[in-house]
Structure 1
């Protein structure tokens, strides 16, 4: 199967200032993890990594997903892209760090919306940051804080992995899927990456304009970030099992999103629990 390379010149012309919203974009042939590389650079050389810096790779050989799972795929079969964010509001004031939990949901929403608009594949969200098609994982998002060494507010790196042209034989797990397998109208990674990054930058700009308040409707917008996420989120109202970091599980009904983007689960005794990080399993009737 022919898998064309990304075109750095084309992507920079469309996405990097002055024509686009991004500060810089680099395409590398191979790396361990775009998230790790970008986070290390932002921590060690912050003056070289401004807000909205992009790193993407043709092959990622040590990518990590949620709960420290590995994420690998054949060369040029997927999108592996990370964006460095230093969120500030219109007045230049840093956003409250408790709003950062929405950044991964913002990125997953941008991925789902851009895919639907471009390819006709109607993707949905599964908390906290999976993009799904009919219960199978199409893409995943992983956000991490980048502490500052000079006392400034932390940055965030938001990485996304999208299965584009993987076949049945390529899938890392049987519960995954790809745009090719979903009969997408295009699998051109240059188009898909450009659409995603433009959608992400637009959503990020709106989020910053309301000071990271997911319940606020930005000027010129039609809905809040919470409203847009909820419209595509399949988790709320479902019986779930949340597998918690470090072991243990919580069973209950996914009731709401907390102000920080965390998931509120009401257990069988009616007690609410706010879960910030977990691997959530949607349960069928009679399943525990």
Structure 2
């Protein structure tokens, strides 16, 4: 039986996360909400440059004790009982020296959040976690946390709209806003979890279940990685603060790589193959039985079995639209996309 959850202390969180000791511009706490992501998406949908937009700058965080209508990937619902989970969303305005990051960088932000969570729960709670592509965090093969990143575009003021309509080309007034939401099972017992494939920090023997330690540790690690990523213009291949690149850190943390998987794509299409790596956008590279490499940027991944050295590369042929009928040349690269939007975004 787990102890009663310790309520989140907003003053304590703000002391840890807001300057002079922290990196966050804003830290709020809701007793109960439908979805912290939805709340921040609504906050982001204001005119760029307006007073309301200024109240939600880069690295604004919203946590909640209870979430009633959380949203996971592919529009799945996610509900958490009061105090049992670590629920937080962060509003980001990714840029470097006033210039928005390239759009290819945004797909890395959910992976960045997963890495920050894995590293922080290891340091603070003593729990060894791993990353399942694209944005699930596992402990001993069971899901302890999920991450959802959503794109949001600020509205334009009437003056900005007039300038844009009179210009020869489009005027970019601000880059996209990204909302990164994280939900972690903290104190749930097995009978409080919805499926047998889920777990919690309590079940995994965490050294602490106090979210007043866990949440600042995660958010601090997330901010450090995010700011370092912005400083290299969102290039996942470049070293962060003189250390490993984001691509290297994601590869090291990802249990999916080296595993035979089934990638279920939107539109009831699937690909079977060996997960061999990530590309520069964070998409998953799968090699099927024929030697064809597919780039999967959207969909769910089911782990089938670990790859054994010397065995064939795939565990079945690709099917669906990603596999064209007729013969295919080995090592030919194909890009398998679903709706065109990465599953790392809503």
* TM-score of the superposed pair, with normalisation by structure 2: 0.80
The Cα shift of 1:287 comes to: 7.7
How many angstroms does 1:275 deviate by? 1.4
Q: Does the aligned pair in 1 maintain the 2:62–2:90 contact within 8 Å?
A: yes
State which drifts further: 158-167 or 141-150.
141-150
Which of residues 119, 123, 126 is equivalent to 2:129? 123
Alignment of 1:154-169 (within 5 A): 154-169=176-191
Q: CA deviation at 1:19?
A: 2.6
Give 1:109's match in structure 2, choosing from 106, 115, 128.
Answer: 115
Give 5+ residue unaligned stretches, structure 2: 47-51, 157-171, 307-313, 317-346
Matched, 1:202 2:224: yes
Q: Distance in 2 between matches of 1:139 and 1:168?
A: 15
* Alignment-derived partner of residue 3 in structure 1: 5
Measured in 2, the distance between the counterparts of 1:43 and 1:174 equals: 38
The answer on whether the counterparts of 1:73 and 1:170 sit within 8 Å (CA) in structure 2 is no
Residue of structure 2 equivalent to 1:52: 59
- Aligned to 1:72, what secondary structure does the other structure show? strand
1:133 corresponds to:
139
> Radius of gyration: which is bigger?
2
Q: How does 1:160-239 map to 2 (within 5 A)?
A: 160-219=182-241, 221-239=242-260
C-alpha contact 2:5 2:209 (8 A) present in aligned 1: no
Q: CA RMSD in A?
A: 1.5
1:276 aligns with 2:297: yes
Q: With structure 1 as the length reference, what TM-score do the two structures score?
A: 0.95
| Aligned length in residues | 286
Deviation at 1:278, TM superposition (A): 1.2
CA displacement, residues 64-114 of structure 1 (integer Å, 9 cap, x when unaligned): 11122111121100011000111111x221110111011000000000000
Q: Shift of residue 218 of structure 1?
A: 2.7
- Residues 189 and 202 in structure 2, CA contact (< 8 A), matched pair in contact too: yes
C-alpha contact 2:45 2:152 (8 A) present in aligned 1: yes
- 1:240–1:283: 8 Å Cα contact kept in structure 2? yes
Matches within 5 A, 1:13-52: 13-44=15-46, 45-52=52-59
Partners of 1:284 and 1:265 in 2: CA distance: 14
Answering whether residue 252 of structure 2 is matched by residue 246 of structure 1, we say no
**Unmatched tracts of structure 1, length 5 or more:** none
